[in-house]
Amino acid sequence: MGCAMEILYQDSDILVCIKPARVLSTDEPGGLPGLVREALGDPKADVRTVHRLDRVVSGVMVLARNARAASELSRQIREDQFRKEYLAVVHGRPESPEGTLRDLLARDKARRMTFVADAPGKGVQEAALSYRVLEYADGMSLVRVRLHTGRTHQIRVQFSSRGMPLVGERKYAVLDDPCEIALWSAKIGFHYPETGEWAEFSKEPPAVFPWTEFGKIIP
- The catalytic residues are 54
Identify the CA nearest to 161 among candidates 86, 89, 59, 90. 90
Task: Give the rounded distance of the alpha carbon of 72 from its chain centre.
Answer: 20
Picking from 61, 54, 3, the residue whose alpha carbon sits closest to that of residue 169 is 54
Beta strands per DSSP E along 21-112: 48-49, 58-64, 83-91, 98-108
**HSE-CB of 217 using CA atoms within 13 angstroms:** 30
3-class DSSP state of 78:
helix
